[in-house]
Amino acid sequence: MLGAVGLFFAWQAMLLDLGHIGLPGPGFFPLCLGATVSIAAVLIGLACWQYRDGEPVEFGHRDVLITLAALLILPLIFEPLGALPSLGLFGAAMLILIGRVALPLAIAASALGMAACWYFFEVLLGVSLPAGAW
């Protein structure tokens, strides 16, 4: 199913303008996302085929429910807080709740990730991220 989603993203992205190396178009990042998800699906499938004696994870698993809840909350806080604070909170929450990383380390890793995100979009691509209403 993950592979099908990745292929769907890639197919839909190919219908958009991809732009060029200096100025990516609206289809560039969805194409990268679709390709990455498709490759990850193949790698996960190969790993599952190779190591079959693992325990299956059902939909009601704690980590799955936490991830779904966090992904549903993220759009609600994205507009009021802006891109970087909301994605930073999401990353820190995932590190703490799923990865069981200590709070100071999760905050530091999230801040470093948001600094890299800001540098990539604002400096390298020249794209302004949403600042938020607050």
pLDDT number for residue 27: 87
Q: Do 13 and 5 contact (CB within 8 A), yes or no? A: no
pLDDT digit string (tens) for the chain, length 134 residues: 888 888 998 999 999 888 887 788 888 888 999 999 999 999 988 887 777 666 665 666 788 888 889 989 998 999 899 999 999 999 999 999 999 999 999 999 999 999 999 999 889 888 888 887 66
**Whole-angstrom distance, CA of residue 68 vs CA of residue 74:** 10
d(CA 51, CA 58): 18
Amino acid 128: pLDDT: 86
Q: What is the pLDDT of residue 76?
A: 92
HSE value, Cβ hemisphere, 13 Å, CA-based, for 59: 0
